[in-house]
Structure 1
Amino acid sequence: MNVLALYDIHGNIDALEAVLADPRAADPDVVVVGGDVVPGPFARATLERLSQLNARWLRGNGEREVAEAIDGPEPAPDDLARVTAKLTLDEIGPDAARPLGDLPLTLEIDGVLYCHATPRRDDEMVTKLSTPERWAEVLSTTTAPLVVAGHTHQQHDRTVGATRFINAGSVGLPYEGDGAARWLWVADGVPELRQTAYDSHAAGRRMLAAWPDARSLNASLVEPVAPLTVTEIFESLI
């Protein structure tokens, strides 16, 4: 079975279309939508495009936060996560947002375990700089030989004991230094990290005109920063 794994799109419809037009992503048997399709500036268009695919969906922290915004209080202006969740809720409406919060945390295909962040949480962070002890901890609840995740927006391939952990990277907001969309192809359980170049600068500028998270858009698409800089920031938050 051929699986196309798409993670962390974050409403970047231009990046999604670029990946789907890549001949190397053609004709998968199933598409895994690995979480954090939202929040993002073009959420409705992104969700509608994904709905046209033969897809199986996972819950990321983004989906959960958008669903939680339905009954949540008005966010404080400086709480960017809640502000962007509310903006996406306002765009797609509660009927579309509520099911996002009910998506599964994990799914298994051909013996591969797919999750958004780690097998036990949708917001747990682990990076290329994390200690072996940290890696063992976050994978302590699974015996799967291969785990595929995202969340940190950086591709990574690491073996921890008997488990290989692949970070598929981010389609829409890659912290890789060049703006190219990242994704994963899994053929009969064998993963291959891939990327698709497109006009990410133009996409970033278009998103900036509609979205308040300028820091993330600039760092990933408009003026991409060095990947290690972002990795160090994420590691400091653990």
Structure 2
Amino acid sequence: MAVLHGPRPDEPPTPVLGPVERVAVLSDVHANIPALRAVLSERDVASADLVVFCGDLTWGPEPEETVSLVGELGSRAVFVRGNADRAVLELAAGDRPRERPRDAWMPGRHSPEALDLLSRFHFNVVVDVVGLGPVRFCHGSPRGDTEVITPETPEARFADLMSGHPESTLVSGHTHLQFDRRVGDRRSVNPGSVGLAFHDGEAGTAMWALLGPDVSPRRTPFDVADAVLRAWDAGDPSAEVMERMMTTPPTVAEVVAHAEERVFSD
């Protein structure tokens, strides 16, 4: 049986913020600096009341540079904890076996200040957005950071994972797929990935979303050649994987089939 990896035992109550008029949602940055810079320079991100990050912020080639960039947002930045953010903390504390290429490398790429930032990420966040009402933000699902939600998640499973949560709109990350769909009487939204978008379009595309008064999926081009070079220059043990995912991303159909078969993916 899959482990949900839900809230920590000492997790404070889910923050409830707002009302606000505009929320920019950025997810799965994966420490891709060229992509992050491109999205942060977008006018609608710069002017948003809040910028919500839906997890997996620093698990990538340039964690410290990523923390520095999001730090410039000040109090406008709101952070949700992803499975990769949790992994960094577990590895740094010696609470997780080092099995993958990045596992031994990643903790040393995070300063104590960066680790402290990750430790303060929320499991879920609710923001009252004008035009949408209360919106719940998570990484995987409201009950676990490795649960996958896709454009084809069955209505019964979606209703189950939303059980106990009254919000009519859920924004999740984790799958790196951008979508906006109705599931019964609710709305399931994924802004897509800033740093490693999985899609059928052109390489070098960062995906995000603007909320308020409706949901507006957005795409921003970035210099993919620069991102690839920076991954190799950083000495990232997964630079080859990053290059492949950025230059020839998995298709939507491939990701959906894989995710829905597994339901949970770390």
Return the TM-score normalized by structure 1. Answer: 0.88
CA–CA distance in 2 between the matches of 1:237 and 1:142? 24
Contact kept? 1:152, 1:169, Cα under 8 Å: yes
Give runs of aligned pairs for residues 150-169 of structure 1, distance below 5 A.
Answer: 150-169=173-192
Choose the corresponding residue for 1:3, options 23, 28, 52: 23
Choose the corresponding residue for 1:211, options 226, 231, 236: 236
Contact kept? 1:129, 1:232, Cα under 8 Å: no
Structure 1 residue 44: deviation in Å?
0.3
Q: Which amino acid in the other structure matches residue 60 of structure 1?
A: G
Contact kept? 2:124, 2:136, Cα under 8 Å: yes
**Equivalent residue of 2:163, what SS?**
coil
The aligned counterpart of 1:93 is: 111
Q: Which amino acid in the other structure matches residue 71 of structure 1?
A: A
Choose the corresponding residue for 2:121, options 94, 103, 122: 103
Q: Which amino acid in the other structure matches residue 83 of structure 2?
A: N
Choose the corresponding residue for 2:226, options 191, 194, 202: 202
Q: Which amino acid in the other structure matches residue 203 of structure 1?
A: A
Choose the corresponding residue for 1:139, options 147, 162, 165: 162
Contact kept? 1:205, 1:222, Cα under 8 Å: no
The aligned counterpart of 2:38 is: 18
Question: Relative to 1, partners in 2 of residues 1:51 and 1:99: Cα closer, same or farther, differing over 3 Å?
Answer: closer
Give runs of aligned pairs for residues 1-238 of structure 1, distance below 5 A.
Answer: 1-53=21-73, 54-72=76-94, 75-76=97-98, 79-80=99-100, 83-110=101-128, 111-177=134-200, 178-179=202-203, 180-188=205-213, 190-209=214-233, 210-214=235-239, 216-238=241-263
Structure 1 residue 117: deviation in Å?
1.5
Deviates more, 1:223-232 or 1:153-162: 223-232
CA–CA distance in 2 between the matches of 1:136 and 1:219? 35
Contact kept? 1:58, 1:104, Cα under 8 Å: yes
Q: Which amino acid in the other structure matches residue 171 of structure 2?
A: V
CA–CA distance in 1 between the matches of 2:83 and 2:220? 25
Deviates more, 1:205-214 or 1:119-128: 205-214
Contact kept? 2:87, 2:96, Cα under 8 Å: no
Question: Relative to 1, partners in 2 of residues 1:146 and 1:90: Cα closer, same or farther, differing over 3 Å?
Answer: same
Q: Which digits, 9 at most, give the CA deviation of each residue in 1:150-207, with x for residues without a partner?
A: 110001112222221101110001011333000011124x221101012224313432
Structure 1 unaligned segments of length 5 or more: list them: none
CA–CA distance in 1 between the matches of 2:242 and 2:125? 29
Matched residues, percent identical? 32
CA–CA distance in 2 between the matches of 1:72 and 1:39? 17
What value does the CA root-mean-square deviation take over the aligned residues? 2.1
Contact kept? 2:151, 2:179, Cα under 8 Å: yes
Question: Relative to 1, partners in 2 of residues 1:225 and 1:99: Cα closer, same or farther, differing over 3 Å?
Answer: closer
Question: Relative to 1, partners in 2 of residues 1:171 and 1:58: Cα closer, same or farther, differing over 3 Å?
Answer: same
Question: Relative to 1, partners in 2 of residues 1:196 and 1:160: Cα closer, same or farther, differing over 3 Å?
Answer: same
Q: Which amino acid in the other structure matches residue 185 of structure 1?
A: L
**Equivalent residue of 2:88, what SS?**
helix
Structure 1 residue 237: deviation in Å?
2.2
Q: Which amino acid in the other structure matches residue 97 of structure 1?
A: L
Contact kept? 2:59, 2:88, Cα under 8 Å: yes
Structure 1 residue 43: deviation in Å?
0.5
Structure 1 residue 85: deviation in Å?
4.7
Structure 2 unaligned segments of length 5 or more: list them: 1-20, 129-133
Structure 1 residue runs of 4+, over 3 Å off?
A: 73-76
